[in-house]
Structure 1
Amino acid sequence: MSNWNKEKLGRYINEGRGQGEKSCYIPLTKTHEFSSKGRASRIFGIKTQRIHHFHSDNQLRAFHMYEWVNDNVVDIRECFPLLDVMEVIDDKDNLRFDKFRDKESGEQLVLTTSFLLTSRDSDGKERYLARSIKDSSELIRKITLEKLEIENRYWKAKGIDWKITTDKQLSRQLAKNIEWVRETLLSNEQQDINKDQLSDDLLNHLLINPDSAIRDSLRDFDNKAGVSNGVALYLFRYLIAKKEINIDMRNKIDTASRITDLML
């Protein structure tokens, strides 16, 4: 974050950065404002109904895991600022805040945690989970470890569960599969069909033909339903996205497989 000063912080706070929940939350920094080492991306959140801003592929993969895999997560706030860090942490011994200052202005930078999640238990009780996303290669850097220690003490003082998640815990194939199916929850590319009714029909069709290759069953369904080629594949993705078809998303989805071999 370059050219950081009190005026910019004041403007960000007035804009509501780092404040609000779900659709009202605004991350401290947005993708076009921040130079990151990773690939920046913007994505519309299904649970939050807003645009999320990510500064690396690892953050995007983590988001997919929190949004789609974990049904207990009801809110996802990225780039969450620790605005009250100096007041919250009593034990500041050995914490190198001086290393996190703007090189030009000398102003103290606002430290952030990658994600603050809201998780709701089966009894309706909500709790917060803080998660820092790092590439495993970063963990050998002293400055990275110093920032993580600040985060650790901050969230510990607040009584909030905090963990580090690295690229080794974020499956690329899982994220790729989620991206492939979640589009059907957002898109309206098949406007001329009743998506919910036809997807129910497709599920029944697949279940009564468990030993057929999925791609053959999908082609057969397109013909029987009188829809254009590819509709059944779209509906198949939709069923997975809604978790009405339960498969191992950590593996590549092979439509040459039999439905009985793919479904869990």
Structure 2
Amino acid sequence: MHPKISGMAQELSGIETSLRLILEWSDSVREIKEQVALDVDETLAIADELGIEHPSVDGSPKVMTSDFVVEMTNNEVVVVQTKSWTFTLRDVEKMEIERAYWLRRNARWMLVTDLQIPDVVVSNVRDVRKYVDLTDYHIPEKHVSRIRRVAEPLIVKDIPMNEVGVMVDERLGYEYGTSLTVFRHLIAKKEWIIDMFEPIDPGSRLRILSIAGRGMDKEASAE
């Protein structure tokens, strides 16, 4: 489970899973709570005040939940509800109860639909996140350091990422694919900062915006 997730990880929908990946990646997010239950007595009172029918199951009030309650690094609390863009008027009524609930707690409530999810970012995060820890890949830290030292002067040149990987593996005598794994590890650890809105394509050049400890790369910034 990701260290930003508080409590038990929940089974999520496709939209929720995509948003969670984005929240996990964000440096502005400190803690993520999922499927947070709202106090049913309070939501009943709010529904009555607003003149909205409270959600129910078999005639009994249903406990409402918020998809994500997010604590930001600036201590702001942001509550996120996710919906398909085809949500209904009834969905709007229920969200208004939820929004009023969190407004009383000085939290910012927002709706995110599937149309707002950046698919490229989600795909990139999903691609690199499994390389944060290289234990299962049996690549020691000394190999990471060596690969990084050889690769960084090459990776900023107009050479496809997979070709740089082969060049580095051959120069260091490592098994083919080792350097590509380390490249994804460095992205996952944010040692190499890239534009996550651009697809990570091994057949294309990897455009690094900055390298940890070095700031903006001179060759990359000179383009």
2:135 to 172, 188, 195: 188
CA distance in 1, matches of 2:170, 2:147: 12
User: Hey, what does 1:57 align to over in structure 2?
Assistant: 14
Count of aligned residue pairs for this structure pair: 206
List alignment gaps of at least 5 residues for structure 1.
1-43
CA distance in 2, matches of 1:199, 1:161: 41
CA distance in 1, matches of 2:56, 2:47: 20
2:4 to 47, 52, 66: 47
Change (3 A) 1:186 1:81: farther
By percentage of residues, which structure has more strand?
2
CA distance in 2, matches of 1:220, 1:49: 42
Q: How do residues 67-216 of structure 1 correspond to structure 2 at under 5 angstroms?
A: 67-68=24-25, 70-84=26-40, 85-86=42-43, 89=46, 92-97=49-54, 100-103=55-58, 106-121=59-74, 126-138=75-87, 141-186=88-133, 188-191=135-138, 193-194=139-140, 196-209=141-154, 210-211=156-157, 212-216=159-163
Deviations 1:143-181 (A, max 9, x none): 111111101111111111111011111112211110110
User: Hey, what does 1:234 align to over in structure 2?
Assistant: 181
Cα contact 2:84–2:113 (8 A) shared by 1: yes
1:219 to 138, 153, 166: 166
CA distance in 2, matches of 1:49, 1:90: 29
3-state SS, counterpart of residue 20 of structure 2: helix
CA distance in 2, matches of 1:166, 1:118: 20
4+ residue runs over 3 A deviation:
48-51, 86-91
CA RMSD, 1 decimal: 2.2
User: Hey, what does 2:212 align to over in structure 1?
Assistant: none
Cα contact 2:19–2:117 (8 A) shared by 1: yes
Cα contact 1:88–1:158 (8 A) shared by 2: no
The alignment's TM-score, normalised by the length of structure 1, stands at 0.71
The alignment's TM-score, normalised by the length of structure 2, stands at 0.83
3-state SS, counterpart of residue 109 of structure 2: strand
Change (3 A) 1:110 1:186: farther
List alignment gaps of at least 5 residues for structure 2.
210-223
